[in-house]
Amino acid sequence: MSRSIETADGRRIAFHQTAGKGPGVVFLGGFMSDMTGTKALHLQQWAERTGRAFLRFDYSGHGDSGGRFEDGCIGDWAADARAVIETLTDGPQVLVGSSMGGWISLLIGRAMPQRVAGLVTIAAAPDFTERGFWAGMDDATRDRLMRDGVVMRPSDYDAPYPITRRLIEDGRENLVMDRALDLPFPVRLLQGTADADVPAQWALDLLDHARGDDIRLTLVKGADHRFSSEACLGLTVEAIEDVLG
């Protein structure tokens, strides 16, 4: 059963925490996902087996947390992540960021590198509101978004979902690929070549853009965006153990 905290911004954030040794591992999920996904639960089981501290949570508007999804944006969700890390963990943590969680983990790493022991990203989607959503819209859709404040986007997984003007405009305030990105800790980037949501080129771009002494990219031929096969889950654990090692 999850517990919750209230952030300084008044948002109720649900979380599940496993006690153990540090550095702890914090899982940051993706856009419209929650902390009950395959990757989060697999990592919790690994943490319990190995005695490692582990934390998973839902951003506001996601899962068990308070708020409406359509009211949120990258800045809010990054603030949620930061609040959870600062309130519930001690010392440097290994951040595991999936998709949007990869972008948010990069924002955390830039804002408070002293609290990051290492970073593992899975199909990281930095700047996806701009490089994905906005870039993929035609002029008529962009005009409608700016005029009405929201457009609906079809989903391969569920019903259409809202993309708001606030999400796009706030995303521009939180870009990481348009300025220096120093990552002074071990970083492991994991990416499937058959990912239909995050192009493999984005992983290569991030590898090229980020600055650090210990950054590696693993491309998995044929792996999709979910990155949840037994082999992919095993690779994720190996990457975490490599960073911890």
pLDDT band at residue 159 under the 50/70/90 scheme: confident
What count of Cα atoms within 13 Å lies in the side-chain half-sphere of residue 84? 33
Please list the alpha-helical segments (H only) found in 26-73.
38-50
Residue count of the chain: 245
229: which 2 tokens? 């096969």
pLDDT number for residue 16: 98
Residue 62 near residue 129, CB atoms below 8 Å: no
Least confident of 25-39, 144-158, 181-195, 202-216: 144-158
Residue 158 has pLDDT above 80, yes or no: no
Give the right CATH number for 3-127+179-244 from 3.40.50.1820, 3.40.50.720, 1.10.101.10, 3.40.109.10.
3.40.50.1820
Based on the number of CB atoms within 10 Å of its own CB, is 226 exposed (0-12), middle (13-18) or buried (19 or more)?
buried
- The verdict on whether 99 is a catalytic residue reads yes
Once rounded to an integer, what is the mean pLDDT over residues 131-156? 94
Q: Rounded CA gap, 187 and 225, in Å?
A: 19
Query: Is 4 an active-site residue?
Result: no
The pair of structure tokens assigned to 143 is 């005009």
The predicted pLDDT at position 134 comes to 97
Tell me the per-residue pLDDT of 165-210, one tens digit each, with 9 for 90 and over: 999 999 999 999 999 999 999 999 999 999 999 999 999 999 999 9
Are 242 and 186 contacting, i.e. CB atoms less than 8 angstroms apart?
A: yes
Percentages of the chain per state (helix, strand, coil), in multiples of 5: 40, 25, 35
45-85 pLDDT per residue, tens: 999 999 999 999 999 999 999 999 999 999 999 999 999 99
Which residue in the list 34, 64, 127, 195 is annotated as catalytic? 195
Query: CA gyration radius for the chain?
Result: 17
- Indicate if the pLDDT at residue 2 is higher than 90: no
Q: Which two tokens stand for residue 32?
A: 């419209």
- For residue 168, give the nearest of 72, 62, 98, 81 by alpha carbon: 72
- Report the DSSP beta bridge partners of residue 108: none
State the chain's mean pLDDT as an integer: 97
Task: Answer yes or no: are the C-beta atoms of 177 and 150 closer than 8 Å.
Answer: no
pLDDT of residue 6: 97
Is 195 in the active site? yes
Choose the catalytic residue: 33, 65, 99, 105: 99
pTM of the model: 0.96
Domain regions of the chain by residue span: 3-127+179-244
CA distances (Å), 181 to each of 105, 115, 191, 207, 209, in order? 12, 16, 19, 11, 7
Neighbours of 43 (CB within 10 A): 23
Q: Which of 85, 11, 100 is nearest to 54 (CA)?
A: 85
Query: Is residue 154's pLDDT more than 90?
Result: no
Q: What pLDDT is recorded for position 216?
A: 98
pLDDT, residue 191, reads 98
Helix (H) or strand (E) holding 111: helix 100-111
Under 8 Å between Cβ of 3 and 32: no
